[in-house]
A and B are shown apart, each in its own frame.
Chain A
Amino acid sequence: MTLLLEQLLNGLQFGVMLFLLAAGLTLIFGIMGVINLAHGSLYMIGAYAAAIAAERTGSFLVAVPAGLAAAGLAGMAMEYLVIRRLYARDHLDQVLATFALILFFNQTVTLLFGRQPLFVSIPPALNGSIEILPELAYPVYRLAIIAVGLAVAVGLYLLINRTRIGMLVRAGATHRDMVRALGVDVRLLYTAVFGLGALLAGLAGLMAGPILAVQVGMGEQILIMTFVVVVIGGVGSIRGAFFGALIVGVVDTLLRAFLPGLLRQLTTGPEADALGAGLSSMGIYLLMAVVLLVRPKGLFIANA
């Protein structure tokens, strides 16, 4: 029982990380109609900047703004130099261009910091674990990630639903041309949304540093899962991204934790382990395929 609860928390933690990425991706896609494959690169940039800053200064408090600033600036530069020219193009051109950006960013990072993964230590204030239930000690740092993720979700909800900018974002997602016709500076709005998405990706990256290896290619691994989240939740919907991310995070974590054990009871030997690993990785894709077949627009589509 405690094991299940612990894995549920792990799933929740993975889920909020996915949400930070998926929120940006779904906004960028919903509002600007751009498929940004390089969103994972912003995550990587945030992780690297924070890791380097933490290594140089030894302070996580410096690393946080460093990661956010690097990802935000890289995102704005990306939008200004490349993405802006792609709004009117079809999705295929966007795929090729942002794929080219991935190659460029990955290789630049390799050139600057090498292929060796960087390891970041958990900030001392968040080190250790606390007993949240009798017999269940859980790392403070992971709890902190969950807290930050949920706080961002609430903040985004308020921003989107309660502010003027949020109103423009919502309007832009459903009636893009009408917003432009009403005299809103759409270019500025686009850059702001892109910057926000980049900030969130950077936040996810810098938080991932201490629990995952910071390495080239980390962005692409999580990018595909993020797309799964966006599609399951419904493209363009923040609410969908949130619930989609939690579903994917929990399902993926639970399958990885328990499926190999279940298979081992059915068959023995190394085949069971390999098959268990394979089948549990397959799980979320199966989930996505089923969701798309039953509800092609996603589970939580905003304007169905």
Chain B
Amino acid sequence: MRDTVTAQTGFAPPSAKPLLAAAAVIAALVLLPFVAQAAGSPATVALATRVLIYGIAAASLNLALGYGGLVSFGHAAFFGIGGYTVGILYQHYVADELILGLFTGSNQLLVTLPAAVVVSGLLASVIGALSLRTSGVQFIMITLAFAQMIFYLFASLTAYGAEDGLIVRRRNELFGLDTRNDTVFYFICLGVAAAFFALLSRIVRSRFGLVLVGLRQSERRMAAIGIAPYRYKLAAFVISGIGTGLAGALMANYLRFVSPDMLHWTKSGELMIMVILGGVGTLFGPLLGAAALVILETVLAAWTEHWQIILGPLLLAVVLFTRGGLQALLARLGGKP
């Protein structure tokens, strides 16, 4: 239908529209702190920072879950391990001790973020390599099992605060910027998020991304045309874990605190909810879902202590009446088929 309309009216090809939309969103995000300042609501900047961080995590999960059909219920492990990388590096930096007698601590964002990427990537390769031997519900549960093991490990490591977690007294430094300023930190997160989504859009449009979608639709068919499923799925899982670890490292900086809460299974659930709420298998859907969930929580919590009694039915309505989440709802409201 759309093709014929385009042909008749000679509109620009459909690919230009998302680009325009992306440019508008980026402009809005850049202007946001200044608008918030003018409107006298500095808390909005902190809220937006959380949205961006959760957006990165949810979009990463979506690469495995939405594009690859790998329903991981254990992404809290990567989120938490990213956070703990920052926390542990900071603790050793302050105490001036070596980690395992090998590495020095650090409080430089340019060190801690890559470190979080490496650590979460390694963890994701191990968990992925084992978990991907199963599929379906078993995959959901085995990823949960690994995440729970990591949770209990950190909840019992007294050297790193056990259940109380670690306090990161000052945010990591970057080029002498004042990272304690929430607006500055917001722009750092915005930069990371922009780079991340640019990379992600390249990945999902690449041959690799197409193979991934093909594997979700029919693994047998892909195997029949000569593609080894395991390697592609593992790569997707590792990239997904890395992105989530990166978000966890940013979150530890934002909160200046990291605790086993970041590793708890409810965090995996929360990320999954963001993806489903926003739209499974869409590039910006998870960001939308993260924004909706974080903002709803904040607004409803300010309104009533019993905000979950409203959030629950709202989520239910989204599932039952909008197939494909908010992204699909917006697309339908926008008049697209």
Contact = CB atoms under 8 A, between A and B. Distances in A.
Interface of A: 29, 35, 82, 85-86, 89, 91-93, 95-97, 99-108, 110-111, 220, 224, 227-228, 231, 235, 270-271, 274-279, 281-282, 285-286, 288-289, 292-293, 296-298
Given A104-B309, A107-B309, A227-B144, A274 B162 contact: yes
Contacts of A293: 130, 133-134, 142
Interface in B112-168: 130, 133-135, 137-138, 140-142, 144-146, 148-149, 152-153, 155-159, 162
Given A99-B269, A103-B308, A104-B312, A278 B155 contact: yes
Contact of B138 (A95, A100, A297): A297
Max chain A C-beta neighbours (<10 A), residue from B142, B155, B266, B277? B142
Task: Give the top 9 A-B pairs by smallest Cβ distance, nearest first.
Answer: A278-B156, A104-B312, A103-B312, A100-B315, A107-B308, A107-B309, A285-B145, A100-B316, A103-B308
A231 B155 contact: no
B319 A100 contact: yes
A279 B65 CA distance: 29
Given A82-B316, A99-B273, A298-B138, 16 more contacts: A92-B272, A95-B272, A96-B315, A99-B269, A100-B313, A107-B307, A107-B312, A108-B309, A228-B141, A274-B158, A275-B156, A278-B153, A282-B148, A289-B130, A289-B145, A292-B142
A96 B312 contact: no
Given A228-B145, A285-B146, A100 B277 contact: no
A102 B312 CA distance: 8
B300 to A, nearest CB: 11
Max chain B C-beta neighbours (<10 A), residue from A91, A285, A296? A285
Interface string B279-295: 01000000000000000
Interface residues of B, number: 45
B138 A277 contact: no
B149 A282 contact: yes
Given A104-B313, A292-B138, A293-B133, A97 B308 contact: no
8 contacts: A82-B316, A93-B319, A95-B276, A97-B315, A97-B316, A108-B309, A289-B149, A292-B142
A259 to B, nearest CB: 11
Contact of A288 (B142, B269, B314): B142
A92 B71 contact: yes
Contacts of A82: 316, 320
Interface of B: 65, 71, 130, 133-135, 137-138, 140-142, 144-146, 148-149, 152-153, 155-159, 162, 265-266, 269, 272-273, 276-277, 280, 306-309, 311-316, 318-320
B130 A96 contact: no
A280 to B, nearest CB: 9
B148 A224 contact: yes
B133 A224 contact: no
B309 A286 contact: no
A29 to B, nearest CB: 8
A151 B269 CA distance: 35
Contacts of B134: 292-293, 296
A278 B152 contact: yes
A276 B155 CA distance: 11
Nearest to A288: B145
Contacts of B137: 29, 35, 91, 231, 235
Nearest to A294: B133
A110 B309 CA distance: 10
A286 B149 contact: yes
Nearest to B320: A85
Max chain B C-beta neighbours (<10 A), residue from A102, A110, A275, A282? A282
A80 to B, nearest CB: 14
